[in-house]
Amino acid sequence: MRQAMRIHAIIVAAGAGLRAGGGVPKQYRAVAGQPLLRHAVKRLLGHPAITGVSVVINPECRALYDEAVAGLGLSEPIVGGATRQESVLAGLEALAADPPDIVLVHDAARAFVPDAVIDALVAAFDDDVDGACPALPQVDSLRRGEDGRFSGSVVRDSLWRVQTPQAFRTPAILAAHRAAASGATDEVAIALAAGLRVAITPGDERAFKVTEPADFAKAEAMTTYSSRAASGFDVHKFGPGDHVWLCGIKVPHDHGLIGHSDADAGLHALTDALLGTIAAGDIGDHFPPSDERWRGAASDQFLAHAATLVRERGGLIDHVDVTLICERPKVGPHRDAMRTRIAEILGLGIDRVSVKATTTEKLGFTGRQEGIAAQAMASVRLPEHSA
Ligand code: MG
């Protein structure tokens, strides 16, 4: 019976939600590199019982919406109304022509609802109910009070903190919504007013509603990260000149380095190491030597681009380490300036940036002073969802 049920989720994301800060409605603000709405959509799409997801939006936020759900294969969003209640009704009406058996109404701000909460909602329909809603028992004592003084007690035993998604048989909630007075705060209120039977199912603290600025920090803290480390290597050949660029610093020398860009082998090796942590190819893929734009280009922009790609994946750069391999010029006098420059480009503390140097005891091409080699390591943490 349950296998045959069509279960559709409506995510309500039409609110202005500026209270959380960040300059955009909160459902479009990033947590661990992805908009809150994208987390919410992926959670529901990823649940095996859910057969479809639609999102109700404010059409003024269409560009933010398109960016937030890019690549997730959603159908056209539904245009919401002035209130949450109107937006939910718009979402329900959009399903009316071909109603699913069960509809889940979910707030984008409760983006991190665990699968078990949805499992319990679906299981509730094995009993003869019209709907089900996750809720947590009220554990703190509740008191009435006015003007700074307590005036009475509230029996908390029968009080629940309700969450979303709230699940209903679609025809029942659609009829209840169409008949409802305005001012309802959620679907349970509308269902109860219509005399529907709504089961209480287990909620979860992780399904908390992201509302205040501190909630974003809480959501970030819930993110699970895995460590990645990758290496990079580069060589450039000496040619005529009176300086070389190494790790973003201009170092006087009796030769220059030959290359399409500024030939900064240190920054090139480090750029490749960072790209390696997200398996995003190599520096030549992103900045082809055939492209005239990069002729003589300063390599700090290559490194900054790699760091941006890591951060767009929600990544945190933990540490980078560059080893320059040459007989000359002497690196030691410039080491701290190099560390400072790399730290600036990457937006890291200098304690997370290491620059080392070695010779090859006059062996090989570096020993013969034909060129400079550099190798680098980068370690980052990536949120699990970016895998
Ligand atoms: Mg290079």
Task: Give the pLDDT confidence of 259-308 residue by residue, as tens digits.
Answer: 999 999 999 999 999 999 999 999 999 999 888 888 888 999 999 999 99
Please tell me whether residues 196 and 287 are part of one structural domain: no
Between the CA of 260 and the centroid of ligand 1 the distance, in Å, is: 8
Interstrand relation of 142-146 and 198-202 (parallel, antiparallel or unpaired): unpaired
| 353: pLDDT strictly greater than 50 | yes
Between the CA of 318 and the centroid of ligand 1 the distance, in Å, is: 24
Omega of the bond leading into 333 within 30 degrees of 0 (cis): no
Plot region of 323 (φ>0 → left; ψ -120 to 50 → alpha; else → beta): beta
Which token pair is 327?
A: 């007989």
DSSP 255: S
| 18: pLDDT strictly greater than 80 | no
Q: Which of 205, 222, 239 is the last residue of a domain?
A: 222
Please tell me whether residues 217 and 247 are part of one structural domain: no
pLDDT top residue among 254 and 292: 254
Does residue 29 lie in a domain region? yes
| 367: pLDDT strictly greater than 90 | yes
Among 161-165, 218-222, 364-368, where is mean pLDDT lowest?
218-222
Of the candidates 98, 99, 92, 50, the residue with the CA atom closest to the CA atom of residue 74: 50
pLDDT top residue among 16 and 29: 29
Q: What is the pLDDT of residue 15?
A: 85
| 386: pLDDT strictly greater than 70 | no
Between the CA of 118 and the centroid of ligand 1 the distance, in Å, is: 51
Does residue 291 lie in a domain region? yes
Between the CA of 256 and the centroid of ligand 1 the distance, in Å, is: 14
Does residue 178 lie in a domain region? yes
Over residues 317-329, mean pLDDT:
97
Between the CA of 371 and the centroid of ligand 1 the distance, in Å, is: 12
Please tell me whether residues 241 and 135 are part of one structural domain: no
Q: What is the pLDDT of residue 102?
A: 98
pLDDT top residue among 32 and 351: 351
Task: Give the residue carrying structure tokens 């030959």.
Answer: 258
Please tell me whether residues 236 and 379 are part of one structural domain: yes
Between the CA of 300 and the centroid of ligand 1 the distance, in Å, is: 12
| pLDDT confidence tier of residue 19, bands split at 50, 70 and 90 | low
Q: How far apart are CA 330 and CA 218, in angstroms?
A: 47
Does residue 30 lie in a domain region? yes
| 211: pLDDT strictly greater than 90 | no
| 312: pLDDT strictly greater than 90 | no
Does residue 2 lie in a domain region? no
Over residues 113-125, mean pLDDT:
97
| 329: pLDDT strictly greater than 90 | yes
Q: What is the pLDDT of residue 161?
A: 95
Please tell me whether residues 127 and 56 are part of one structural domain: yes
Q: What is the pLDDT of residue 20?
A: 60
Do 354 and 375 meet the contact criterion of CB atoms below 8 Å apart? Answer: no
Over residues 298-321, mean pLDDT:
94
Between the CA of 263 and the centroid of ligand 1 the distance, in Å, is: 6
Between the CA of 272 and the centroid of ligand 1 the distance, in Å, is: 10
Please tell me whether residues 184 and 270 are part of one structural domain: no
Alpha helices in the chain (DSSP H): 36-45, 62-68, 84-93, 115-124, 170-179, 187-193, 213-221, 265-277, 283-286, 300-312, 335-346, 364-367
Between the CA of 350 and the centroid of ligand 1 the distance, in Å, is: 24
Domains in the chain: how many in total?
A: 2
Does residue 55 lie in a domain region? yes
Please tell me whether residues 228 and 214 are part of one structural domain: no
Please tell me whether residues 88 and 148 are part of one structural domain: yes
Q: How far apart are CA 251 and CA 257, in angstroms?
A: 11
- Tell me the residue range of the domain where 103 lies: 7-222
Q: What is the pLDDT of residue 1?
A: 47
Q: How far apart are CA 95 and CA 100, in angstroms?
A: 7
Q: What is the pLDDT of residue 194?
A: 97
Please tell me whether residues 218 and 354 are part of one structural domain: no
Its pTM stands at: 0.75
Task: Give the pLDDT confidence of 152-192 residue by residue, as tens digits.
Answer: 988 888 899 999 999 999 999 999 999 999 999 999 999 99
Task: Give the residue carrying structure tokens 């639609």.
Answer: 54
Does residue 87 lie in a domain region? yes
The H or E element containing residue 243 is strand 243-246
Q: What is the pLDDT of residue 224?
A: 87
Between the CA of 285 and the centroid of ligand 1 the distance, in Å, is: 12
Between the CA of 361 and the centroid of ligand 1 the distance, in Å, is: 23
Task: Give the pLDDT confidence of 120-162 residue by residue, as tens digits.
Answer: 999 999 999 999 999 999 988 889 999 999 999 888 888 999 9
Between the CA of 341 and the centroid of ligand 1 the distance, in Å, is: 18
Between the CA of 266 and the centroid of ligand 1 the distance, in Å, is: 8
Please tell me whether residues 313 and 188 are part of one structural domain: no
Residues 6+ apart with CB under 8 A from 76: none
Between the CA of 289 and the centroid of ligand 1 the distance, in Å, is: 10
CATH number for the domain spanning 319: value is 3.30.1330.50
Q: Which of 167, 188, 222 is the last residue of a domain?
A: 222
Does residue 14 lie in a domain region? yes
Q: What is the pLDDT of residue 385?
A: 63
Of the candidates 73, 71, 134, the residue with the CA atom closest to the CA atom of residue 104: 134
Q: What is the pLDDT of residue 17?
A: 63
Omega of the bond leading into 171 within 30 degrees of 0 (cis): no
CA distances from residue 132 to 8, 90, 175, 213, 248 in whole angstroms, order as listed:
14, 21, 17, 30, 60
Please tell me whether residues 103 and 230 are part of one structural domain: no
Q: Which of 222, 239, 257 is the last residue of a domain?
A: 222
